[in-house]
Amino acid sequence: MNIDIYLAIGISSLVLAIVLYIFGALSERRNRRILDTINSAIKEWQTKIMESTIELMESRPEIIGKRAYMEEVKAKTEFLQDLSERIKFIIENQKTDDAAIAQSGNLKILLDFFVEATKSNTPPDVLSDMLKRTINQQTETKETK
């Protein structure tokens, strides 16, 4: 009889352990799904908070001013590179006939603009417009002669 009681206790303990394992596994799966949902919601909130923070930071006048300044520096650099290439081309391809006088005048204009562009705070678009007007005026003056 004692053996039957011990056997019944042992079998019931085993059955109880299996039942508790099954309930634990089911509970763990349910809890994992809940935690995954919470985790994805937190990540979504963090993403939205970061995006709004970035928008606020980028809309500050200091940031906008720095961007505008960087664009101006970039445009001025491109203008100076173009101007340098034109000057280099004239120097490398010097004329020896009547065109040499015109070429010398063009070189002087380009060098003057290069000096003006490197020392002043004049925006590159203004310098470019001034250069075009000067070249057009010289072309018109040559055509009238």
Q: What is the pLDDT of residues 51-88, one digit of tens each?
A: 988 888 777 777 777 888 788 778 878 877 887 787 77
Domain assignments of the chain as residue spans, ordered by start: 1-59, 73-144
Distance set, CA 101 to CA 85, 93, 97, 136 (Å): 20, 13, 8, 17
Distance set, CA 26 to CA 29, 35, 55 (Å): 5, 14, 44
pLDDT digits (tens, 9 = 90+) for 14-60: 999 999 999 999 999 999 999 999 999 999 999 999 998 888 877 77
